[in-house]
Amino acid sequence: MIAAFDLVLLLFVLICAIAAISVKDLLSAVIILGAYSFFMCLLWAEMGAVDVAFTEASVSAGIGTVLFIAAVSKTKRRSKD
Amino acid sequence: MRVLALLTVILTGILLFFGTQDMPNWADPNSPASIHVSPRYIEKTLEETATPNVVTSVLADYRSYDTLGETTVIFTAGVACMLILRIRRRRRE
Amino acid sequence: MFDFILSKYNYWIYIILMMIGFYAMIGKKNLVKKIIGINIFQTAIILFFVSTAAKRGGTLPIVEHAHGHGIHHIHAASYVNPLPHVLMLTAIVVMVSTLGVALAIVIAIYRRYNTLEEDEILEQRK
């Protein structure tokens, strides 16, 4: 547990979260959400939760992003806010 | 409407911020979560289940009914997805 | 004072993450943005729960020298608390299955109303 590494990762996670909800293009928002999930996975690996980290990397960042992209491709890509 | 949402969010954040004053310090080895139940699992897992990975032995041995219920949840979600998407298609035709 | 900030700053950042997700849930009009907010909210709470398991000086919850050395005494204080990890593994899988159902409902709404904005859907329902 290194405090500087932890702080930098938390900062990246915050930036990704703010970018994911403020981007107007839905496909970009979904890809940024995938990056957010991978940073979260690094954060958990750093805390010692390796099982949670690889479950997050495979299930949430993999299957979740695929489901989001499928839904966006079936509907509209632009959003108003 | 957006101002009301922002106000609610900031109010919730302030309440939770006051709640963190009673939490144990981060990564404290003597926090209540670390000294009550979990040492029993860590010390006994090797002689009771012969699995070195404690997370796996708790997930698939001590709490295997929980994992069985989890697979039921995933199955229900898959069936629900299939039914929702199929009904719409039939009604449009 | 500096010690207090150093031992609590993690919780404050988790609260800020949760506030971002909560604002996206109740303040944004687009339905996919609301689902992204739900995802961020759940991940922040899972992060908080996993962080209660961390121990200073603790290693991964995998018993060292397990096989071939016989049963020896295991010090619980040198391993990270494994129980929150187990509960959060279940929570992540349930999170993704609810995400699938929510996106299926969004696709069904788009087929019927031909839009994803909340106010336009409410306008059409009048």
- pLDDT tens, C35-58? 999 999 999 999 999 998 888 888
CA distance A49 to C50: 8
What sign does the dihedral C113-C114-C118-C123 (CA atoms) show? negative
- pLDDT score recorded for residue C45: 94
Strand, helix or coil for residue A1: coil
**Domain limits for position A34:** 24-75
Asked if C24 and C40 count as a contact pair (C-beta separation under 8 A), the reply is: yes
- Domain count for chain A: 1
Q: Answer yes or no: is A12 within a domain.
A: no
Please report residues of B whose CB lies closer than 8 A to that of A60.
none
Nearest to A1 among B27, B55, B56 (CB): B27
pLDDT-derived band at C71 (thresholds 50, 70, 90) equals low
Q: Answer yes or no: is A40 within a domain.
A: yes
Q: Which chains sit next to B, with 3 or more Cβ pairs under 8 A?
A: A, C
- What string of DSSP letters covers C50-93? HHTT--TT-B-SB-TT-SSS------GGGB---HHHHHHHHHHH
Asked if A46 and A10 count as a contact pair (C-beta separation under 8 A), the reply is: no
Q: Answer yes or no: is A81 within a domain.
A: no
- pLDDT tens, B22-51? 888 888 888 888 888 888 888 888 888 888
CA distance A13 to A39: 6
Distance from CA of C27 to the nearest CA of B (A): 5
How wide is the angle at C-alpha A28 spanned by C-alphas A26 and A31, nearest 5°?
Answer: 110
- pLDDT tens, B43-92? 888 888 888 889 999 999 999 999 999 999 999 999 999 999 886 555 55
Q: Answer yes or no: is A69 within a domain.
A: yes
Q: Which domains does chain C have, with CATH numbers?
A: 2-63+74-125 (1.10.287.3510)
CA distance B27 to B12: 25
Distance from CA of C1 to the nearest CA of A (A): 17
Q: Answer yes or no: is A80 within a domain.
A: no
HSE of A19, CA atoms in CB hemisphere, 13 A: 16
Q: Answer yes or no: is A49 within a domain.
A: yes
